[in-house]
């Protein structure tokens, strides 16, 4: 069993990164993977190479209806379907970051990874976290082995982002032993072959959803034909109709009207796992681009020698490295907080659920950032491959199409941006996060003499940490002013909220990257981390520009007069950064990639 054990596990607050400084030694970095985790990752990659990549056309054609479920059952034989499930139910009880590593390692698997995550994550975890002991004993062993395959049924034609608008109903039968369900669900991954469905419906005239475990064998279930999609063509996606489907009352999952809470918590896990998978997909896309840049010749030389190509390769690598840094920082925070709850006497499943809920902000950040890095990577990969990139016979066209869904999956990126700020402000109003004190401190600083010194730390990133602290001040300054000016109307100003979210996302990822490299330097020495130092600096410079632009848009949208002038002066002060030759840094990163002929950070 792989399980993180800590003598004094730390329980920190989600969103706290905005108002506190994190010690680099307290985060987990991928360079610390152990031999067992590396073996697990390699087994996933080997599975893709032998079972998936050789059959991509067949998978996408969906002519063989047994192909995808057969692949899932094979991962069950390898123990990968039960990575998050405790041993008592047939799983391996792996720690949170190892589960993220599995998702990342399968991330380049096109339609396969979609089906895998739908089963392994949102199709299994609701039972693990919210099921009764009887439900766990009945269903988890089969879900772990692959004898049972699962699907998650939440979305309806009129209930997408607004899940509580569900019209699916469950009515208690006269015998009192069954619920009779009627309704429709759509965009259901794995629907065509699932044996078990996690279904959300309203009981009678309830205001809120309740969750149910529904077996295909219960009857009363029909489906439309497979959806024709832009990408992930090999994943089963169908509409499901429940027509007087009789569900035993003991198959109610969790408490009545707790379904929305279950859905939100499971979506938090789905979001960060999707972040892991898209990071893996981006790495595959970059690797194909590096190899092609080393092989393709124009004007008598390989195209990898051209500055424009080096720029693309380096920017892809920088985004991937940064996203990966934030991913495993969050994963370790979730793991440690869950262990802290357990040490306080909390039941295991509830401790895990509470820790994931605590870091819902970071899970949403990860989903948005990683999916957009993947989109950037596959787009640049097509560009680097030129005409071959646009050809369906080429190596990257499928990846371009398959990537697009990830900005819609698990809540659209727009919804995820909005919920990050909504959750942050709600926690502040409840007193869970003290945003007011540091925000007031920033307001006072705006009228004081600027401090041009360093932050006094011994880090190799003294200047960069000063910049990072200032970027947090920008977020506090703009968010504080927007709340004060717009108050209750802020919730309707979605453009401003998304500006604030972009600032929060870029700040978190930039800081995570600096912390990762700072810790790496302590492990390997500065001379052995020159490329990683370049990556951290490149990302920070890019983040300063993005945060500056987002802040200006937000400020211009609500401030005026003296307030506008003061905030713009503050923005100018807080975005100061020393000159750095980005071109040469990118070239050094690209040269390292081309030399290794792969992403090797």
B/e letters for 32-62, b = 16+ CB within 10 Å, e = fewer, are: ebeeebeebbeebbebbeebbeebbeebbeb
Please give the Cα distance from 224 to 240 (Å, whole number): 7
Distance CA 30, CA 36 (A): 13
* Rounded distance between C-alpha atoms, residue 432 and residue 57, angstroms: 51
Give the CA angle between residues 306, 320, 293 to the nearest 5°.
25
Q: Whole-angstrom Cα distance, residue 338 to residue 6?
A: 11
List C-alpha distances in Å: 328 to 96, 154, 273, 536.
Answer: 9, 28, 11, 16
Contact 173, 180 (CB under 8 A): yes
Burial per residue of 405-442, b for 16 or more beta-carbon CB atoms within 10 angstroms, e otherwise = bbbebbbebbbbbbbbbbbbbebbeeebbebeebbeeb
CA distances from 238 to 10, 123, 301 (A): 43, 15, 49
Helix or strand run (H / E) with residue 531: helix 530-558
Smallest Cα–Cα separation from 23: which of 461, 323, 534, 467?
A: 461
Q: Of all residues in the chain, what percent are helix, strand and coil, respectively (each to 5)?
A: 65, 10, 25
Q: CA 250, CA 252: separation in Å to the nearest integer?
A: 5
Say whether 410 is catalytic: yes
DSSP 8-state secondary structure symbol assigned to residue 178? E
Question: Is the Cβ–Cβ distance between 377 and 426 less than 8 Å?
Answer: no
Helix (H) or strand (E) holding 223: strand 221-223
Q: Is 355 helix (H, G, I), strand (E, B) or coil?
A: helix
Q: What is the 3-state secondary structure (H, E, C) of 386-418?
A: CHHHHCCCCCCHHHHHHHHHHHCCCCCHHHHHH
**For residue 440, is it left (φ>0), alpha (ψ between -120 and 50) or beta?**
alpha
HSE-up (13 A, CA, CB side) for residue 523 = 15
Separation CA 126–CA 187 (nearest Å): 19
Given the residues 324, 410, 511, 518, select the one marked as catalytic: 410
Buried b (16+ CB within 10 A) or exposed e, 172-183: eeeeeebbbbbb
Element (H, E) at 210: strand 210-215
Contacts 24+ apart (CB under 8 A), 249-252: 249/172, 249/176, 249/177, 249/178, 249/179, 250/132, 250/134, 250/135, 251/135, 251/212, 251/213, 251/214, 251/215, 252/179, 252/210, 252/211, 252/212
Residues involved in catalysis: 410
């Amino acid at each position: 069993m792989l399980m993180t054990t800590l003598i004094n596990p730390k329980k920190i607050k989600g969103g706290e990164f905005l108002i506190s400084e994190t010690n680099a030694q307290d985060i987990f970095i991928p360079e610390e993977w152990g031999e067992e985790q590396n073996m697990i990752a390699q087994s996933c990659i080997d599975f893709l190479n032998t079972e998936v990549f050789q059959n991509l056309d067949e998978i996408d054609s969906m002519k063989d209806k047994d192909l995808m479920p057969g692949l899932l059952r094979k991962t069950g034989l390898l123990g990968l379907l039960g990575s998050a499930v405790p041993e008592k139910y047939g799983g391996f009880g792996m720690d949170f970051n190892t589960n993220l590593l599995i998702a990342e390692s399968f991330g380049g698997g096109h339609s396969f990874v979609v089906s895998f995550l739908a089963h392994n994550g949102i199709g299994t975890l609701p039972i693990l976290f919210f099921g009764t002991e009887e439900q766990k004993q009945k269903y988890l062993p089969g879900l772990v082995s692959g004898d049972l395959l699962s699907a998650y049924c939440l979305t309806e034609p009129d209930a997408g982002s607004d899940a509580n608008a569900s019209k699916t109903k469950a009515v208690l039968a006269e015998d009192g032993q069954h619920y009779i369900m009627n309704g429709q669900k759509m965009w259901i991954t794995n629907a065509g072959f699932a044996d078990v469905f996690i279904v959300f419906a309203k009981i009678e005239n309830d205001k809120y959803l309740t969750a149910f475990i529904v077996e295909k064998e219960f009857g009363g279930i029909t489906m439309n034909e497979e959806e024709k999609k832009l990408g992930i063509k090999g994943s089963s996606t169908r509409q499901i109709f429940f027509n007087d489907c009789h569900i035993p009352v003991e198959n109610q999952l969790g408490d009545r009207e707790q379904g929305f809470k279950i859905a939100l918590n499971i979506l938090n896990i789905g979001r960060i796992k999707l972040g892991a998978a898209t990071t893996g997909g981006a790495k595959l896309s970059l690797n194909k681009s590096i190899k092609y840049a080393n092989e393709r010749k124009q004007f008598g030389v390989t195209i990898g020698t051209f500055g424009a190509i080096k720029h693309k390769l380096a920017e892809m690598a920088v985004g991937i490295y940064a996203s990966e840094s934030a991913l495993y920082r969050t994963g370790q925070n979730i793991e440690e907080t869950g262990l802290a709850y357990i040490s306080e006497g909390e039941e295991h499943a509830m401790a895990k659920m509470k820790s994931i809920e605590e870091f819902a902000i970071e899970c949403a950040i990860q989903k948005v950032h990683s999916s957009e890095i993947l989109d950037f990577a596959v787009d640049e990969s097509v560009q680097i491959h030129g005409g071959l990139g646009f050809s369906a016979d080429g190596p990257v066209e499928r990846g371009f199409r398959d990537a697009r869904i990830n900005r819609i999956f698990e809540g659209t990126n727009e919804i995820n941006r909005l919920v990050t700020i909504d959750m942050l402000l709600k926690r502040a109003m409840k007193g869970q996060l003290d945003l007011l004190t540091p925000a007031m401190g920033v307001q006072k600083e705006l009228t004081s003499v600027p401090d041009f010194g360093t932050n006094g730390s011994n880090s190799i990133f003294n200047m960069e940490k000063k910049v990072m602290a200032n970027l947090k001040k920008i977020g506090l300054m703009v968010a504080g002013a927007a709340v004060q000016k717009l108050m209750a109307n802020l919730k309707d100003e979605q453009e401003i909220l998304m500006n604030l979210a972009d600032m929060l996302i870029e700040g978190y990822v930039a800081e995570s990257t600096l912390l990762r490299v700072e810790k790496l330097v302590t492990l390997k020495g500065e001379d052995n981390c020159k490329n990683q130092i370049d990556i951290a600096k490149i990302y920070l410079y890019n983040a300063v520009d993005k945060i500056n632009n987002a802040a200006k848009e937000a400020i211009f949208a609500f401030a005026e007069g003296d307030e506008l002038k003061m905030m713009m002066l503050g923005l100018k002060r807080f975005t100061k950064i020393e000159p750095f030759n980005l071109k040469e840094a990118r070239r050094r990163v690209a040269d390292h990639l081309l030399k290794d002929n792969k992403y090797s950070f």
